[in-house]
Amino acid sequence: MKKLLLVVAILAGIFSSCGDEEVVLDPLKTGQAYYPMEVGTYRVYNVKETKYTNNVGTTTLLQTRELVKGVSKDQTGKEWYTVEVSQRANANQSWIVTGVKAISKSTRDLQLQTNNRIVVEMVYPVEEGKSWNPNAFNPNYFPKEEDRQLRDTFFYEQIGASFDVAGKTYPNTLKVNKAKSDPDDFINEVEVYEIYAADLGSIYRFSKVRYNCDASPGTNCQIGSGYIISGTDRIEELESSGKI
């Protein structure tokens, strides 16, 4: 009887210890590796921005830097990383701080907060074609119905594909499509997406938001001609990254 009780006690201890083990998920399989967060790390981007007015574009070249300054918890115990955003005209100039954003990363998603607005940038695990509402915390952010249709859904594409940018090849990336107008809409031309590389983060950002000819009085253009009344094209390419 004593031997039987000893065996039961040993088995109970084994199963108890197994139950207490923490399950560690592979960040690459879940997708969390595509947006690593660590205090002191930074990314520098080369930016090309073209603004259009009456079909005339003015292009500006500059650099931006995103530096993870620290991490803190809110009242609910949720961790938020503080990211300092800086800008300069070129590599010979000093950085000038232009803003701050906060990023929270959990096992479920990654949230970005700027100007008191939270956007769900990623959801886990990542899957080809998986979609989600980025404005789940901002149901009234886009008052116009046409804007809501454009921006109420993000989705994954090209998971694990290689991507070339700025003379470098990143073998494992994914694409997050953020907005795209109807191809038959010749007036509102919108396309926004971002490329993330495993163990590195965002490496390429593309944004095109144009209001093309609507044939209104005084425009002197035809719908579908490619005439841009107003708009902005912006491309950000990762130039370097590291830790200070």
Q: What is the pLDDT of residues 209-233, one digit of tens each?
A: 999 999 888 778 999 999 999 999 9
Q: Tokens 């070339």 appear where?
A: 164
> pLDDT below 70 — which residues of the chain?
1-25, 139-151
What's the confidence (pLDDT) of residue 140? Answer: 67
Specify the residue for token string 């001609």.
225
Q: Count the alpha carbons within 13 Å of 89 in the hemisphere toward its beta carbon.
A: 2
pTM of the entire structure? 0.85
pLDDT value, residue 147: 54
Q: Within 13 Å and on the Cβ side, how many CA atoms surround 19?
A: 6
Q: Give the residue among 74, 71, 69, 105 at the shortest CA–CA distance from 85.
A: 69
CB atoms within 10 A of CB 179: 19
pLDDT at 14: 42
Report the relative pairing of strands 117-123 and 201-212 from DSSP bridges: unpaired
Beta bridge partners of 193: 177, 206
Q: Over the stretch 139-153, which tens digit does the pLDDT of each residue have? A: 666 655 555 445 579
The pair phi, psi for residue 9, each rounded to 5°, is -65, -40
Give dist(CA 156, CA 193) in Å, integer.
10
